[in-house]
Amino acid sequence: MSTMPTQVPVIHSDPDILGGMPVFVGTRVPVRTLLDYLEAGEPLAGFLEDFPTVTREQTTAVLRLAKEALTDHARSH
Protein backbone atom coordinates (compact mmCIF):
# COMPACT_ATOMS: atom_id res chain seq x y z
CA MET A 1 0.00 0.00 0.00
CA SER A 2 1.49 3.33 -1.01
CA THR A 3 0.69 6.63 0.57
CA MET A 4 0.60 10.04 -1.02
CA PRO A 5 3.55 12.18 0.03
CA THR A 6 2.63 15.04 2.32
CA GLN A 7 2.98 18.32 0.48
CA VAL A 8 5.01 20.85 2.40
CA PRO A 9 3.77 24.43 1.95
CA VAL A 10 6.17 26.60 -0.04
CA ILE A 11 4.16 29.82 -0.06
CA HIS A 12 3.07 31.75 2.99
CA SER A 13 0.94 34.84 3.34
CA ASP A 14 0.76 36.76 6.62
CA PRO A 15 -0.53 40.30 7.09
CA ASP A 16 2.48 40.99 9.33
CA ILE A 17 4.97 39.99 6.61
CA LEU A 18 5.14 42.44 3.71
CA GLY A 19 1.48 43.31 4.14
CA GLY A 20 0.31 39.78 3.32
CA MET A 21 2.20 39.47 0.04
CA PRO A 22 2.84 35.76 -0.71
CA VAL A 23 6.42 34.89 0.25
CA PHE A 24 8.52 31.73 0.22
CA VAL A 25 8.00 29.88 3.52
CA GLY A 26 10.70 30.73 6.04
CA THR A 27 11.77 33.87 4.17
CA ARG A 28 10.64 37.40 3.47
CA VAL A 29 11.26 36.92 -0.27
CA PRO A 30 8.10 37.58 -2.30
CA VAL A 31 7.13 34.88 -4.80
CA ARG A 32 6.54 37.69 -7.28
CA THR A 33 10.29 38.42 -7.19
CA LEU A 34 10.99 34.99 -8.70
CA LEU A 35 8.42 35.60 -11.42
CA ASP A 36 9.86 39.05 -12.12
CA TYR A 37 13.36 37.56 -12.48
CA LEU A 38 12.16 34.91 -14.91
CA GLU A 39 10.04 37.40 -16.87
CA ALA A 40 13.12 39.60 -17.28
CA GLY A 41 15.01 36.64 -18.76
CA GLU A 42 17.20 36.07 -15.72
CA PRO A 43 18.24 32.48 -15.04
CA LEU A 44 16.94 30.65 -11.98
CA ALA A 45 20.55 30.36 -10.79
CA GLY A 46 20.76 34.17 -10.62
CA PHE A 47 17.65 34.36 -8.45
CA LEU A 48 18.98 31.65 -6.13
CA GLU A 49 22.32 33.44 -5.86
CA ASP A 50 20.65 36.76 -5.04
CA PHE A 51 18.22 35.18 -2.54
CA PRO A 52 20.16 32.41 -0.74
CA THR A 53 17.36 31.88 1.81
CA VAL A 54 15.20 30.40 -0.98
CA THR A 55 15.99 26.84 -2.05
CA ARG A 56 15.90 25.41 -5.56
CA GLU A 57 13.25 22.97 -4.32
CA GLN A 58 11.05 25.88 -3.21
CA THR A 59 11.36 27.60 -6.57
CA THR A 60 10.54 24.47 -8.56
CA ALA A 61 7.56 23.75 -6.27
CA VAL A 62 6.22 27.28 -6.82
CA LEU A 63 6.65 27.00 -10.57
CA ARG A 64 4.90 23.61 -10.50
CA LEU A 65 1.99 25.18 -8.56
CA ALA A 66 1.78 28.01 -11.10
CA LYS A 67 1.76 25.52 -13.97
CA GLU A 68 -0.99 23.47 -12.31
CA ALA A 69 -3.06 26.61 -11.65
CA LEU A 70 -2.75 27.66 -15.29
CA THR A 71 -3.64 24.18 -16.51
CA ASP A 72 -6.68 24.02 -14.19
CA HIS A 73 -7.74 27.51 -15.32
CA ALA A 74 -7.47 26.55 -18.98
CA ARG A 75 -9.53 23.39 -18.40
CA SER A 76 -12.30 25.32 -16.67
CA HIS A 77 -12.75 27.75 -19.57
* pLDDT interval class at 6 (50, 70, 90): low
d(C-alpha 58, C-alpha 30), whole Å = 12
CATH of 20-76, one of 1.10.3720.10, 3.30.530.20, 1.10.10.10, 3.40.50.10860: 1.10.10.10
pTM above 0.85?
no
CB count within 10 Å of CB 58 equals: 22
Position 75 scores a pLDDT of 82
pLDDT digits (tens, 9 = 90+) for 45-58: 999 999 999 999 99
